[in-house]
Amino acid sequence: MRCLICGSGSLEERYTAVRDHFGVVPGEFRFLGCNACGSLSLDPVPAAESIATLYPREYTFRAADTSEPAIRRLLRAIEWRLFYRPQYHGRLRTIRRLTGLGAGRALEVGSGSGLFLRLLVEAGFEGRGLDISREDVAYARERLGLAVTEGDLATAASLDARYDLVLMFYVLEHVPDPVELVRSACALLAPGGWLVAAVPVIDSLQSRLFGARWSQVTEAPRHITLPSRAGLVRMLAAAGFTDVRWGAMPLLDNAGVIVMSLLPGAATPQAYGRGATLAPLVRRFAAGLLLPPALLAAFAERLPLGPGPGMTMVCARKRPSP
Ligand SMILES: [Zn+2]
């Protein structure tokens, strides 16, 4: 076993007996910590062909569906207005500030239900999405009218396009070979194009405070790595990127993760997944009440002396042609 982020063989046990906080995958999992870059890697790494079975059917948030009971429709509408939509606008502002891009050809890898991709298109980007979930791809295409392809980056290579922007929101930590993912993203970019990734980073205040109970750890075995900032810089440089820049993900993103760490079982798959009962919806409502204090904690995490926010945006530029 080697560190999945930097390739070092110097690893030691970091978290053991980790359980899936969504209760989807039974058993216990363990993470090894890298002595060279500080990143965590899941041991053993799930086999590529089993990855799809680790996910609940509804993993990313969708907007209200008219076929649902009124109470769930109402909750979805409230969440969209107060939680997701402002986050997505915040993400777009940070992308523009860090890369200077106002428009261009964009590929979102792991576009999920497509709600962020739709915002990107509305903002003037020529946007395409890519996702391995057949249900999400169908939703994004049929309900939102977006250009989304089912598949991974190997599929994208056949799309034969050069992008100004490749986006990966919470994707890197889910794949067994993040180095290969970043290299493939680089190959799809035009020279001087930007990779923008959102990732949970292990060197953050929330990671230190929650330890093995951090919701980004208990997202095992869907989370296969939890990179450090130093590990990300090494990986991006090795893949052909330069000019690494950091941004914080919106306070709401970070606050949401803090709440999930305090109140496991309050996340989207339990609350809205098919066959969901009332209890998870009540937990989801309680989670909403915890959001204001979590926002304060997320704000504190950004103060200059701390290690930085848990949910981080990292951007890097493909080397321009000589
Ligand atoms: Zn490492």
Those residues with Cβ within 8 angstroms of residue 316's Cβ, 6 or more apart along the chain or in another chain: 194, 195, 236, 241, 242, 243, 244, 245
Q: Three-state secondary structure along 167-213?
A: EEECCHHHCCCHHHHHHHHHHHEEEEEEEEEEEECCCCHHHHHHHHH
Candidates 130, 113, 61, 120; CA nearest to 93 is: 120
* Cα 227 to middle of ligand 1, angstroms: 8
State the distance from the centre of ligand 1 to the C-alpha of 3, rounded, in angstroms.
5
CB 277 within 8 A of CB 173: no
User: Whole-model pTM?
Assistant: 0.91
For residue 302, how far is its CA from the centre of ligand 1 (angstroms)? 25
129 close to 70: Cβ distance less than 8 angstroms: no
What's the distance, CA 32 to chain centroid?
21
> Residue ranges of the domains in the chain?
55-318
148-150, strands of its sheet edge to edge:
148-150, 125-131, 104-109, 163-169, 189-200, 311-318, 241-248
pLDDT tens digits, 187-230: 999 999 999 999 999 999 999 999 999 999 999 999 999 999 99
CATH number, span 55-318: 3.40.50.150
Q: What's the confidence (pLDDT) of residue 312?
A: 95
67 C-alpha to ligand 1 centroid (Å): 47
CA–centroid distance, 127 to ligand 1, in Å, is: 33
pLDDT digits (tens, 9 = 90+) for 45-55: 999 888 888 98
How many H-runs (helices) and E-runs (strands) does the chain carry? 11, 11
Q: How far is CA 195 from the centre of its chain?
A: 14
How sure is the predictor about 244, in pLDDT bands with cuts at 50, 70 and 90?
very high
